[in-house]
Amino acid sequence: MTDSQEWRHLFTLLKLAEMGAHKRTAKISTEYLAEKLVTSQQTASRYLIELERKGWIKRSMTHDGCLIKIDDAGTGELQKLFSNLRSLMEAAYPPSVTLEGTVFTGLGEGAYYIGKEYYLKQFVEKLGFEPYPGTLNLKLTSDYDVKARAELEAYPAVEVAGFKNEDRTFGLVKCYPALIDNKVKGALVTALRSHYDASVLEIIAPVCLRRQLNLKDGNKVKIEILIPM
């Protein structure tokens, strides 16, 4: 993760790029750079030394200034920032939505539904994992979470088709891949039938979440829903 040191370096790199140092070797004095950075000549000098140490730029000194070229590593950093910004700015949806809920024990019907062969096959295909036979039930506590959950309906989801057997019809299931407690990959599944209201989440994962995360009724759990672009 980018720390505060890196920010300054990244911005210095950006200014150097604005002076053309990413396309060609440019003659840039510390005084001139300082002006662009709104800082002192000494600070600009220090930044350049730091950037050189990091391998982000190459320098060669001449009698009247130094020649600077942004190195591949530096260009890579700028590219990374650019890609990051692009995906943020061009995306229609936020990259993720985090919900928080309290663990409670359900009626065990989740297990019944997700165990159905036709659903199961699709979970493996579309989510990339075979769910542990049981759902983790979470009760949303705050207004914020209920609202945020409602917003999700408008976001793209992984759709698991419904089916019909001799007895009855099984509906479409919308899944939202998610990171549970910042640790386990799983998915939020829309209530298979509306046993629960809008303030309840059902989570599936390749493992037993209660065991894996050592959860008991009443514990709070964070669900970070990752929205595809």
Which residues lie near DNA (CB under 7 A)? 4-5, 8, 28-31, 39-43, 45-46, 48-49, 61, 63-66
Q: Does 40 bind its own copies (CB under 8 A)?
A: no
Integer Cα distance of 113 and 79 in angstroms? 45
Contact 225, 166 (CB under 8 A): no
- Cα separation, 162 vs 51, in Å, equals 57
Residue 125 three-state SS: helix
Q: Among 55, 76, 94, 156, which residue sits at the site for its own copies (rule: CB under 8 A)?
A: 94
Let me know the angle formed at the C-alpha of 133 by 127 and 135, rounded to the nearest 5 degrees.
Answer: 80
- CA of 57: how far to CAs of 12, 54, 64, 140, in Å? 11, 8, 19, 50
Segment near its own copies (CB under 8 A); pick from 120-128, 138-146, 171-179, 195-203: 138-146
117 interacts with, out of its own copies, DNA, none, CB within 5 to 8 A per kind: none
Binding flag, residue 194, its own copies (CB under 8 A): no
* Residue 40 binding result from its own copies, DNA, none, given CB thresholds of 5 to 8 Å by partner type: DNA
Q: Which residues of 97-131 are buried (b: 16+ CB within 10 A; e: fewer)?
A: bebbbebeebeeebeebbeeeebbebbeeebebeb
Query: Which option in DNA, its own copies, none does residue 79 bind, with CB closer than 5 to 8 A by kind?
Result: its own copies
Q: Which is nearer to its own copies, 120 or 146 (CB)?
A: 146
Residue 160, classed as helix, strand or coil, is: strand
Q: Any contact of residue 97 with its own copies (CB under 8 A)?
A: yes
Supply φ then ψ for residue 10, to 5 degrees.
-65, -40
Q: How far is the CB of 81 from its own copies (least distance, A)?
A: 7
Q: Are 26 and 79 in contact (CB under 8 A)?
A: no
Is residue 179 a contact residue for its own copies (CB under 8 A)? no
In the complex, minimum distance from the CB of residue 215 to DNA, in angstroms, rounded to a whole number:
16
Q: Which of 41, 45, 98, 102 binds its own copies (CB under 8 A)?
A: 98
* Among the listed residues 61, 68, 78, 108, the single contact to its own copies using CB under 8 A: 78
Compute the least distance from the CB of residue 101 to its own copies, in Å.
13
Phi, psi of 51 (to 5 degrees): -65, -40
Within a 10 A sphere around the Cβ of 166, how many other Cβ atoms?
4
Rounded least distance, CB 31 to DNA, Å: 5
Residues at the interface with its own copies (CB under 8 A): 1-4, 7-8, 11, 14, 17-24, 26-27, 36-39, 62, 64, 67, 78-79, 81-82, 84-86, 88-89, 91, 93-98, 142, 144-145, 148, 151
